Structure 1
Amino acid sequence: MRITIVGGTGYTGANIARIAAARGHQVTSLSRHEPTEPVPGVSYRTGSVLDPAVRQQAVADTDVLVLAASPRGNLLEAQTEVYQAFLELADAAGVRLFVIGGYSTLRPAPGAPRILEAGQFPPEFAREIQAGADNLDALLAAPDSLDWVYVSPAGSYGAHTPGEATGHYRKGGEIALVDQAGNSAISGADFALGVVDAIEAGTDHRAHLSFAY
């Protein structure tokens, strides 16, 4: 498949690009900066997603669009608007849309409020966390014609705790997955593996997925 990853040089995006390219997909990364460690088989483009022309190019000539850009820097306040624009472009082009979200949009139990609603997180991350929730709400309200998947990682996930590639993961929905000790974790490589497997399977539509051990 032709897979375009917005934020393809970031932690999550680079892991997804690496696995997808290794499996023979035609992978294009769009980010603000050139990669420090280019992944073999990945084509790199640079540009700002704040530019409508750059967004239009990202959706052109692709089968799957993965939004993995972190809501930081000049994208922090604009991410909801930018992702809404991508949503509309993907819908018009008939492109499958995968949006990488956060753990806090999950629910601890069926029918329970989202984890973010408990407010138990450092205040400096509040805007970033809310942006992830806003993006999910936009997808839930999107026209039925848009084929989307929103993907949340485990609670312990990120560049600060990369973990190891085990080749294993558990796949869940909007209910947070925890192990027998109550921990929620996954490595960057195994989270990306789950995402690429879901892209290839093509069986999840208009769904909230999660991956953890």
Structure 2
Amino acid sequence: MAKITVLGATGFAGGNIAKEAAERGHELTLVSRSTPLDAPAGARVIQGSVLDGDVLAQAIDGADVVIGALSPRGDMEGKVADAYAEIAGRLAGTSTRFMIIGGFGSLKNADGERIVETDAFEPAYKPEARELFAAYERVSAIEGVDWTYVSPAGAFGSYIPDQVRRGEYRTGGDTPVLDAEGNSAISGADFAIAIVDAIEQDTHRRAHVSFAY
């Protein structure tokens, strides 16, 4: 059993990860600005912002794994990379693993370009995608941090109708995992399976990985 802290626990990714981890018997600390309405039984809940140093200290104290599932929106717009760099600095030199849930835009296309910088990427979402990629660049450059940066599929989020838990996924590196039709998708539940599997199997350390069907 691992002690897992989920930052952004009321979001889509964070909520699914918390649920999966709880079902497997892990000890959870959930951190969010609002109180989770469906927090797993027994979870420790900390209400507050990761930009508050005291909240952050409580959140990561004693954790085996810290999962960053923050969204660069609202009052976190333009602040997620700074927050993750601060967390990484605090975790440097410790055995605590830091897993960041990033974005699809951080992956590379067949030409080696970051997808967020291509014309095909929706302009409205570029600021968020660039913020998440900046988090990857900054955290991976800090010495002594046991980091993992995870890009979900292109179709990932509460807006996707198919949220069935299939119990399957495929793993890729820093390029997209595509199905036979060239699509990239995964449900929140199956993405969470992949994350908790990585924790339990001790895989993908200091690597950029992606999960999709």
Q: TM-score, normalised by structure 2?
A: 0.94
User: What's the secondary structure of 1:129's corresponding residue?
Assistant: helix
Q: Which runs of 4+ in 1 moved over 6 A?
A: none
Superposition RMSD in Å = 1.3
In the other structure, the counterpart of 1:152 is: 151
Return the letter of the residue paired with 1:159: S
Q: Percent identity?
A: 41
Q: Deviations over 1:22-42 (max 9, x none)?
A: 111101100000112222332
In the other structure, the counterpart of 1:77 is: 78
1:126 counterpart = 2:123: no
The alpha-carbon deviation at position 12 of structure 1 amounts to 0.5
The alpha-carbon deviation at position 90 of structure 1 amounts to 1.5
Distance 1:203 1:16 in 2: 17
The alpha-carbon deviation at position 86 of structure 1 amounts to 0.6
Distance 1:93 1:206 in 2: 14
In the other structure, the counterpart of 2:63 is: 62
1:169 counterpart = 2:169: yes
Aligned length: 211
Return the letter of the residue paired with 1:51: D
Distance 2:101 2:20 in 1: 16
Distance 1:84 1:139 in 2: 5
Return the letter of the residue paired with 1:203: T
User: What's the secondary structure of 2:157's corresponding residue?
Assistant: coil
User: What's the secondary structure of 1:199's corresponding residue?
Assistant: helix
Return the letter of the residue paired with 1:209: V
Give the conservation status (yes or no) of the 8 Å contact 2:106–2:116. Answer: yes
User: What's the secondary structure of 1:200's corresponding residue?
Assistant: helix
In the other structure, the counterpart of 1:201 is: 201
The alpha-carbon deviation at position 205 of structure 1 amounts to 1.4
Give the conservation status (yes or no) of the 8 Å contact 2:106–2:133. Answer: yes
Distance 2:172 2:42 in 1: 30
In the other structure, the counterpart of 1:7 is: 8
Give the conservation status (yes or no) of the 8 Å contact 2:115–2:121. Answer: no
User: What's the secondary structure of 1:44's corresponding residue?
Assistant: strand
User: What's the secondary structure of 1:54's corresponding residue?
Assistant: helix
Q: TM-score, normalised by structure 1?
A: 0.94
Distance 2:182 2:21 in 1: 31
User: What's the secondary structure of 1:38's corresponding residue?
Assistant: coil
Distance 2:71 2:118 in 1: 22
Return the letter of the residue paired with 2:152: P
In the other structure, the counterpart of 2:212 is: 212
Q: Which runs of no fewer than 5 residues in structure 2 stay unpaired?
A: none
Q: Which runs of no fewer than 5 residues in structure 1 stay unpaired?
A: none
- 161-170 or 33-42: bigger deviation: 33-42
Distance 1:140 1:51 in 2: 23
Distance 1:122 1:67 in 2: 24
Return the letter of the residue paired with 1:139: V
The alpha-carbon deviation at position 92 of structure 1 amounts to 4.3
Q: Deviations over 1:51-79 (max 9, x none)?
A: 11111221111100000011111111211
Return the letter of the residue paired with 1:190: D
Give the conservation status (yes or no) of the 8 Å contact 2:46–2:55. Answer: no
User: What's the secondary structure of 1:135's corresponding residue?
Assistant: helix
In the other structure, the counterpart of 2:50 is: 49
